[in-house]
Amino acid sequence: MEQWQRKVSRRDALRLLSAAGGLAMVKWSQARASVAEQLPVNQQIEPFTGPGPNPHWNSVGPYVNEPQKAPLILLTDRPVQLETPRSYFRSVLTPNDAFYVRWHLPDIPHRVDLAEWRLKVEGNVDKPQTLSFSDLTEKFKPVSVTAVNQCSGNSRSRFQPRVAGGQWGNGAMGNAVWTGVRLRELLDAAGVKQGSVQVQFQGLETGQGPKGSGSNVFLKSLELSDSALDEAVVAYLMNGEPLPMLNGFPLRLVVPGYFATYWMKCLTWIRVLGTPDENFWMKTGYRVPDTPRGNTTPEEMKAGGVRTVAISRMPVRSFLISPDGSSKIPAGISVTLQGIAFSGYGKIVKVEASEDGAKTWREARLGQDHGAYSFRTWEVVWTPKIAASYTVAVRATDEKGHVQPDEPVWNPGGYLWNRIEKQEIVVGKVSGGASR
Amino acid sequence: MRKRLSVLIPGLILIAVGTAVFAQFQSGSYGSTQTNSIEQTVPPQLAQDGNFSVAPFPSFVPELAEGEGRAETQDFCTTCHSTRYITMQPPLPAPTWDAEVNKMIKTFGASIPEATAKEIISYLQEHYTPENRKH
């Protein structure tokens, strides 16, 4: 009896155990399935964005390898246009191999013979100059300036309605220490003639188009009276190294505060003009409405009569670089919101961050001052207590009192975007409690 | 009874611990499909002369939508730029494509016969507007 009982009970126990085990297995596989469903899917990004705005920080092209470059985001391969990924802006200086690339015309150098190459300073001058690379490095005093180079069309993919052109995200910008010769010194050496009005820059960027058209040669000019010329440098070093070919080796014009369209790559001719430059890239291209923020509407454009001016200085901008929203943050820990800010109108004096979608603001701590036209890093510590999705926003103020607005801008060229940037940040639960 | 519990309890504990540990983390998931990678390149051989050169700039040719006018679009547009200039754009309204092709001809001096230009415009309008763009 006892034996039987024991036998039965043992069998019962085993049955019970296996039943419990079975149940647990079912629960386990259910749990496994539900957790597995929660794994993020590494989905390939969409091949294009629109007609709505591009929702991503960068543009959506694939990463590609180009000579002397880290993998960058491809916009176009001929002419070459490459965007810098967001994470490279964690440092105040943008590495040369990660620096964005933008050319207008297909025929750009991939070989320059420095034994033969000469910079010409010509046109309306008394003593035209022909200078070798060593003339530039040895006969003139080297100067350095840290300055942001930003494409006029940076963030064009935010425009509504969308406009044709390079569909940049936010990565058509970079900051570097540029070393070379003061432009004014070269002009003084050549002796600018009385009555001259502009100075034209020409590099080694050409195309198949007919002479006199914009597709034949890329040319830009600045007014001789423009104070930006006083700060301009003809640079042979970028972050202490020769320029990458795709960024304008061997020499690039640097115009601190101005959009990159004036920063002529592979600069080979500096030409003093007695009459204003009427070439396509001045008269038709790179023009913005002569309105506050360069803002207009498609309707106003259609109606005609929108007066335009050549694009010039960069409006104030700021960016959150980290965290970038790609990972969750555990509730209750302190994270450092960090990023960069700059303005073409001078020094950044204030950066503010918001964690409630630009309703309330907190002042950020500014990083080291690298000069009025450099990126200025900023950071602010944030301790999100409650699991939720937060909209972090950032806005900067420059020394002229310009503050970034929360309104979009629209013009047909897709230029001058500087709306307040926003980033969704998800904070996750760290305990069983309702709030944490 | 004691014997029964001596089997049951450790068993249940084992299951409970296993389930609890599993709920805490998950590991060992690998993708099953091949994803794209970027090959590394070898540093170039450099001579000590005055020539500073880099390798040819690579081409990344996109797949254009199939349809009438694709060949003309490929042939004529690529005289000056790759067709990435088309696929990079957001979907653009039909009149914008008309204006873009005409800008290439009138402003940039592209030499495209009138009939071909019309074919290129209708190809772009057929595949790259908000109403019809697929890839």
Q: What is the pLDDT of residues A6-60, one digit of tens each?
A: 444 555 555 555 655 555 555 555 555 555 557 888 888 999 999 999 999 999 9
* CB atoms A213 and B79 under 8 Å: no
Are residues A261 and A345 located together in one domain of the fold? no
φ/ψ region of A353 (left if φ > 0, alpha if ψ in -120 to 50, else beta) reads beta
Whether A412 maps to a domain, the answer reads: yes
Query: Residue A4 above 60 pLDDT?
Result: no
Q: Of A28, A116, A167, which has the smallest distance from its Cβ to B90's Cβ?
A: A167
Are residues A280 and A399 located together in one domain of the fold? no
- A11, A77, A96, A117, best to mutate vs chain B, most B CBs in 10 Å: A77
* CB atoms B4 and A79 under 8 Å: no
Are residues A220 and A360 located together in one domain of the fold? no
pTM: 0.91
- Report the domain count for chain B: 1
Cis? peptide before B10, omega within 30° of 0: no
Please give the residue of chain B at the shortest CA–CA distance from A2: B1
Per-residue pLDDT tens over the stretch A73-100: 999 999 999 999 999 999 999 999 999 9
* CB atoms A79 and B130 under 8 Å: no
| pLDDT (0 to 100) of residue A225 | 98
Residue-range definition of the domain harbouring residue B119: 70-127
Partnered with residue A123 across adjacent β-strands are A272
**Position of tokens 């369209």?**
A261
Are residues A243 and A367 located together in one domain of the fold? no
Among the candidates A263, A285, A307, a domain finishes at A285
Q: From chain B, pick out residues whose CB is under 8 angstroms from the CB of A67.
A: 54-55, 57
Are residues A73 and A150 located together in one domain of the fold? yes
Question: Which whole number is the average pLDDT over A166-180?
Answer: 99
Question: Which whole number is the average pLDDT over A332-336?
Answer: 97
Whether A119 maps to a domain, the answer reads: yes
Are residues A263 and A396 located together in one domain of the fold? no
What count of other Cβ atoms lies within 10 Å of the Cβ of residue A212?
Answer: 10
* CB atoms B52 and A17 under 8 Å: no
Question: Which whole number is the average pLDDT over A155-165?
Answer: 98
Are residues A396 and A269 located together in one domain of the fold? no
Whether B16 maps to a domain, the answer reads: no
* HSE-up of residue B80 (Cα within 13 Å, Cβ side): 24
Please give the residue of chain A at the shortest CA–CA distance from B40: A65
Q: How far apart are CA A408 and CA A156, in angstroms?
A: 11
- Report the domain count for chain A: 2
Question: Which whole number is the average pLDDT over A251-263?
Answer: 98
Whether B97 maps to a domain, the answer reads: yes
| pLDDT (0 to 100) of residue A2 | 42
Among the candidates A285, A308, A340, a domain finishes at A285
* CB atoms A21 and B51 under 8 Å: no
Q: How far apart are CA A26 and CA A18, in angstroms?
A: 12
Question: Which whole number is the average pLDDT over A148-156?
Answer: 98
| pLDDT (0 to 100) of residue B8 | 73
Residues 225-244 (A) with a CB less than 8 A from some CB of B:
242
Whether A353 maps to a domain, the answer reads: yes
Q: What is the CATH number of the domain that holds A211?
A: 3.90.420.10
Whether B89 maps to a domain, the answer reads: yes
Whether B83 maps to a domain, the answer reads: yes
Residue-range definition of the domain harbouring residue A375: 317-428
Whether A25 maps to a domain, the answer reads: no
Are residues A345 and A276 located together in one domain of the fold? no
Whether B114 maps to a domain, the answer reads: yes
In this prediction, the residues of chain B whose per-residue pLDDT falls under 50 are none
| Min Cα separation A132/chain B (Å) | 12
Per-residue tokens: A371: 């000069």
Query: Residue A196 above 90 pLDDT?
Result: yes
Q: Kindly report the average pLDDT of chain A as a whole number.
A: 93
Question: How many cross-chain Cβ pairs, A to B, lie less than 8 Å apart?
Answer: 168
| pLDDT (0 to 100) of residue A31 | 52
Whether A163 maps to a domain, the answer reads: yes
Q: What is the CATH number of the domain that holds B107?
A: 1.10.760.10
Torsion, CA A152, CA A153, CA A154, CA A155, rounded to 10:
140
Q: How far apart are CA B113 and CA B111, in angstroms?
A: 7
Burial class (CB in 10 A: 0-12, 13-18, 19+), A107: middle
Q: Of B57, B60, B91, which has the smallest distance from its Cβ to A51's Cβ?
A: B91
Q: Is B91 within 8 Å of chain A by CB?
A: yes
Whether A42 maps to a domain, the answer reads: no
Are residues A223 and A74 located together in one domain of the fold? yes
Whether A113 maps to a domain, the answer reads: yes
Of A220-224, A246-250, A301-305, A430-434, the one with minimum mean pLDDT is A430-434
Are residues A91 and A221 located together in one domain of the fold? yes
Residues 310-369 (A) with a CB less than 8 A from some CB of B:
none
* CB atoms A51 and B130 under 8 Å: yes
Cβ atoms of A104 and A248 within 8 Å: the answer is no
Q: From chain A, pick out residues whose CB is under 8 angstroms from the CB of B57.
A: 66-67, 77-78, 80, 108, 110, 246
Comparing A162 with A41, which gets the higher pLDDT?
A162
Among the candidates A285, A304, A329, a domain finishes at A285
| pLDDT (0 to 100) of residue B12 | 73
Q: Is A51 within 8 Å of chain B by CB?
A: yes
Are residues A241 and A336 located together in one domain of the fold? no
Q: What is the CATH number of the domain that holds A326?
A: 2.60.40.650
| pLDDT (0 to 100) of residue B3 | 63
Cα Rg of chain B, angstroms? 30
Chain centre distance of CA B19: 41
